[in-house]
Amino acid sequence: MKLVTATAILSFAASGASAQNQCAAGKTIDDGVLTVATGNPAYYPWVMDDAPESKQGFEAAVAYAVAERMGFADDQVTWVRSSFDQAIQPGAKDFDFNLQQYSITPERDEIVDFSAPYYSAAMAVLTRQVIVDLGAEANIDALRSLKWGADANTTAVPMLAEVIAPESDPLLYGDNADVVEAMKAGQIDAALFDLPTALYLSAVVLDDGVILGQFPAERSESPDQFGMLLEEGNPLKECIDAAIAEMTADGSLAAIEAEWLSETTGVPVIQ
């Protein structure tokens, strides 16, 4: 195994195509290529038009920026698709890192590795105009009496129980589309999403979608931060962390965020 890697590095270095910095060289699953995974489909505004290769969308842009810092040119980045379950299953991974709004939690960190956070997500309440007309308000007491839903695979589920503690048990679904469908069917009044996702759903998917308000990222004891998911013990982690630290320090990460997630400012905060 080591021998193979060593020869691969040698032959690669000899070919002269190497552009990786010291850190990342030889640590990717395919030498000289960075394999990045995203969701299937990948959603706006994280990836535009489900086409991460276009570099359009927040996560696509972050992935290319991190790749560039590690010395991978744009054409040295390939994309694969993965579900959450595929990302956490034991065994070899088919990606170097996987970014699709994975919240970093200590429990998840025991099974897989996370990079340093690249985004701090506020949670937002998505509802419909009819519910607002019926008197739903952006305060905890009013929210408590609503019928809630959430995507079962997200940290919105514990957040719902902790921060809002609804009077009736929430209904949980397999993905965003199902939550929206239940909302259209009137089976739930409101749902909790990360803010950019909630903005997308209210603007594009729901005809009468309304963002009632947001819980700032700092509100809960453990803020919801997105990290890139890596196989447990992946040596590439330190290179990615270094790249993200650099981007945070020189403001380029904030610039990408401003470019793609600027709408998130101006959403009222729930008291």
Partner 1 sequence: MALADQGGQGTGRPAPGPTRRQIYEAEVRRRSNLIAAGSTLTVLILLIVLIPMAPGWEGVKKSFFNAEVFARTFPGLLEAFLLDVAIFAWSAPLIFILGLLIALCRDVRKPALYPLRLFGILYTDIFRGIPVILVIYLVGFGVPGLGLPRPWNSPYIWGTVALVLTYAAYVAEVFRTGIESIHQSQRSAAASLGLSSSDTMRFVILPQAIRRVVPANMNLFIALQKDVALLSFIGPVEIFRQAGVYKSLLANFTPYVGAALIFLAITIPATRYADYLLAKQSKARS
Residues 6+ apart with CB under 8 A from 249: none
Single residue of 50, 181, 208, 246 touching partner 1 by CB under 8 A: 181
Only one of the segments 18-26, 58-66, 172-180, 252-260 lies at the binding site for partner 1 (rule: CB under 8 A); that segment is 172-180
Write down the least CB distance from residue 17 to partner 1, Å: 32
- Tell me which residues in 205-244 interact with partner 1 (CB under 8 A): 232
Minimum CB–partner distance for residue 108 and partner 1 (Å) = 4
Cα distance between residue 34 and residue 20, in whole Å? 10
The neighbouring-strand residues paired with 149 are 171, 191
CB-wise, 74 or 232, nearer to partner 1?
232
Q: Does 154 bind partner 1 (CB under 8 A)?
A: yes
Shortest Cβ 213–partner 1 spacing (Å): 24
Note whether 172 binds partner 1 by CB under 8 A: yes
Rounded Cα gap, residues 192 and 151, in angstroms: 8
Burial 13-42 (b: 16+ CB within 10 A, else e): eeeeeeebeebbbbbbeebbebbbbbbeeb
Rg (CA), the chain: 20
- Asked if 188 touches partner 1 (CB under 8 A), the answer is yes
Residue 85: CB minimum distance to partner 1, A:
8
Query: Which three-class secondary structure state does DSSP give residue 46?
Result: coil
Ramachandran assignment for 21, one of left (phi > 0), alpha (psi -120 to 50 degrees), beta (any other): beta
Site size with partner 1, rule: CB under 8 A: 35
Amino acid symbol at 126: L
Shortest Cβ distance from residue 269 to partner 1 (Å)?
26
- C-beta separation of 270 from 126 below 8 A: no
Provide, rounded to whole angstroms, the least separation between the CB of residue 109 and partner 1: 8
DSSP string, 54-70: GT-SHHHHHHHHHHHHT
- Contact between 129 and partner 1 by CB under 8 A: the answer reads no
Q: Which part of the chain contacts partner 1 (CB under 8 A), choosing from 45-53, 101-109, 137-145, 250-258?
A: 101-109
Q: How far is CA 56 from CA 113, 121, 141, 261, in A?
A: 26, 19, 39, 12
Check residue 184 for interaction with partner 1 (CB under 8 A). yes
Smallest distance, partner 1 to C-beta of residue 150, A: 9
Token look-up 């972050």 returns 62
Interface contacts to partner 1, rule CB under 8 A? 84-85, 88-91, 105, 107-108, 110-112, 147, 149, 152-155, 157-158, 169-174, 178, 181-182, 184-188, 232
